[in-house]
Amino acid sequence: MNAPIEQYIEFATNHYLLVFALVCVIFLLIQDLIANSFNKYENISPLIAVTKMNSDNVVVLDVREQHEFTKSHIENALNIPLGKVEEQLPALEKHKKHPLIVTCQTGARSTAACKTLTKAGFEQVYNMIGGMQSWEDNKLPIKLGKIKD
C-alpha cells in the first residue's frame, strides 16, 4: 500500500524535529562517504597495524607531543608532534616508499598527519583508528621511557 503524499507531509509537520534529525544524519553520512572516498590513506585497527608491523618494513609515526610519547608508545616508533610534521618531511623522505602507520592519542591528530603525508607523496599511509588509547585498550605492548632518535 502506498500512502498518499499528504500523509507524509502531515507526518513531517507533526514530527519536524525527527525529520530534521533524519536529514542531518543522512547529510553527515553522505559527507563522510564522500570524504573517505577521496582519502589517499587507509584507516586500520590496532590489530591490523600489528599484523602489518610483523609482515612488512613498517614505520610507526607517533604524532603526539613529546611528554605524551614518553609516557607510553609503540616500540621503535618515531615521534614527530603534529605541528612539526610538515617541517620534518625531509627527514621522513627515506620512508616514502615504506608502509607508514600514523598514530596519536585518539586518532584525531593522526588523521591530519595522514593528510599531510599523502599530500607530500607518501604512498602507503595508514591511520590507526583510536590511536594509542585503542592500542592500550587492546592490551598491546607499549614501551615506557625515552624517545628513539
User: Which residues does the annotation mark as catalytic?
Assistant: 104
Three-state SS for the chain is: CCCCHHHHHHHHHHCHHHHHHHHHHHHHHHHHHHHHHHCCCEEECHHHHHHHHHHCCCEEEECCCHHHHHHCECCCCEECCHHHCCCCHHHHHHHCCCEEEEECCCCHHHHHHHHHHHHCCCCEEEEECCHHHHHHHCCCCCECCCCCC
